[in-house]
A = this chain, B = another copy of it.
Amino acid sequence: MAQKTLKNLIHPVILCGGGGTRLWPRSRRSCPKPFLPLLGEQTLFQQTLARASDGAVFAAPIVVAGGDHVSLIEQQAEGLDAGHLIVEPCARNTAPAIALAAARLDRDAVMLVCPSDHFIADTRAFVEAAKAAAMLARADWLVSLAITPDRPEVGYGYIKRGEALESGYRVEQFVEKPVLERALEFLTDGSHSWNGGIFAFRAGALLDELAKHRPQMAQLVKDAVAKGRLDGMAFHPDAAAFAAIDGESIDYAVMEHTSRAAMVPASMGWSDIGNWASLHDALARDAQGNHAPEGSELVDCTDTLVVSDGPRVSALGLKGVCIVIDGGEVLVTSRDAAPHVGKLSGAKNQ
Interface residues of A (CB under 8 A from B): 25, 297, 299-300, 308, 311-319, 321, 323, 325, 328-334, 336-338, 340-341, 343-347
Contacts and interface: CB of A to CB of B under 8 A. Distances in A.
Nearest to A331: B314
B297 A316 contact: no
> Quick one: which of A328, A333, A341 has the most chain B CB within 10 A?
A333
19 contacts: A25-B314, A299-B340, A300-B340, A311-B328, A311-B330, A313-B331, A313-B332, A314-B329, A314-B331, A316-B333, A316-B334, A316-B340, A316-B341, A317-B334, A317-B336, A317-B340, A318-B321, A318-B334, A332-B332
A299 B332 contact: no
Nearest to A328: B311
A333 B316 CA distance: 5
A321 B317 CA distance: 9
A211 to B, nearest CB: 44
Nearest to A344: B314
- Copies of the protein in its oligomer: 2
B337 A316 contact: yes
Given A308-B330, A332-B321, A332-B323, A346 B297 contact: yes
B334 A297 contact: no
A263 to B, nearest CB: 34
B316 A346 contact: no
A316 B330 CA distance: 11
A288 to B, nearest CB: 14
A290 to B, nearest CB: 13
Nearest to A345: B297
Given A316-B337, A321-B318, A337-B316, A299 B330 contact: no
Contacts of A337: 299-300, 316-318
A331 B318 CA distance: 11
Contacts of A334: 316-319
A326 to B, nearest CB: 11
Contacts of A321: 318, 321, 332
A343 B299 contact: yes
B329 A316 contact: no
Given A312-B329, A316-B338, 6 more contacts: A314-B330, A316-B337, A316-B343, A318-B334, A323-B330, A323-B332
B314 A346 contact: yes
A276 B222 CA distance: 63
A271 B333 CA distance: 29
A334 B336 CA distance: 16
A312 B328 CA distance: 8
Contact of A297 (B297, B313, B336, B344): B344
A319 to B, nearest CB: 8
Contacts of A340: 299-300, 316-317
Given A318-B321, A321-B321, A323-B330, A344 B299 contact: yes
Contact of A311 (B299, B329, B343): B329
A284 B338 CA distance: 28
